[in-house]
Structure 1
């Protein structure tokens, strides 16, 4: 019985620790990044229309966030994202047509835009859809978003993010 209690406590700690790690890792890595900002592709003008069915209003709001690396962890991660509403991540409208969000390895929020290409939906800088700094929106509803980084290295480090809208 005692062994099960310890295992349960370890699992809970891992879940909380994983969520905290996923949320703070970009800030920690940004401090080690030597002050590099977004790549020069951020300045490239690309006018990609917002994808059908998704507007920035879908993204704007307060979200609980958690991430997973394997599909078997998805359901658990959805529950962790809902629990993340205790300390929500806020996405607001940008000064232009986009939304203000953080990018990988940078503590500063940037205005990112919805764009589409190749039948996929992305959020990223004003660059062609599918740029390495983009996030692909894998699924969405009014209550939940699922996104992954396009860059394989960022995806390997951060995993697939579940955003759960906070009530």
Structure 2
């Protein structure tokens, strides 16, 4: 493979990853019903619980830098998080307890319909459970 072709392939892979990431960010923006569960046997019920909260939806917006604005653990204000693979990671690494405390993983994702977030920190996860988001509206 020529050097020119190798450079082109490398650049194409980076651009493709950024496009996929930007699309995933857009898929998470919107108004969502939100519920949590702690016991595996409640996982099937949680989407219904989340849908029932659409009268007062949880709103996820896009930040000015193209990331997401979402609540982190123990903070009433939304903070900017970046999507890194399947992880949501706070942009501000100086948040209380450190960024790792607030990291979550997308464990289930159905574009435009629903997704599920699991806290990476077991202590936070034991308090907030597994979060289920269901798209509100049409």
Give the 3-state SS of the residue equivalent to 2:64 in structure 1: coil
Gaps of 5+ in 1: 1-48
- When normalised by structure 1's length, the TM-score is 0.63
Deviation at 1:76, TM superposition (A): 1.4
State the alpha-carbon separation in 2 of the partners of residues 88 and 166 from structure 1: 7
The count of residues paired between Structure 1 and Structure 2 equals 113
Alpha carbon RMSD of aligned pairs, Å? 2.0
What CA deviation, in whole Å up to 9, does each residue of 1:86-107 have, x standing for no partner?
A: 1100001111121111100000
For 1:162, the equivalent position in structure 2 comes to 132
State the alpha-carbon separation in 2 of the partners of residues 50 and 140 from structure 1: 18
1:83/1:115 CA distance change after superposition, 3 Å: same
- When normalised by structure 2's length, the TM-score is 0.75
Deviation at 1:159, TM superposition (A): 0.5
Structure 1 residue 125 corresponds to structure 2 residue 90? yes
For 2:50, the equivalent position in structure 1 comes to 81
What CA deviation, in whole Å up to 9, does each residue of 1:53-107 have, x standing for no partner?
A: 7621111000000000011001211100011101100001111121111100000
Q: 1:135 aligns with which of 81, 101, 104?
A: 104
Do the aligned partners of 1:51 and 1:114 also contact (CA within 8 Å) in 2?
no
1:65/1:122 CA distance change after superposition, 3 Å: same
Q: 2:34 aligns with which of 31, 48, 65?
A: 65
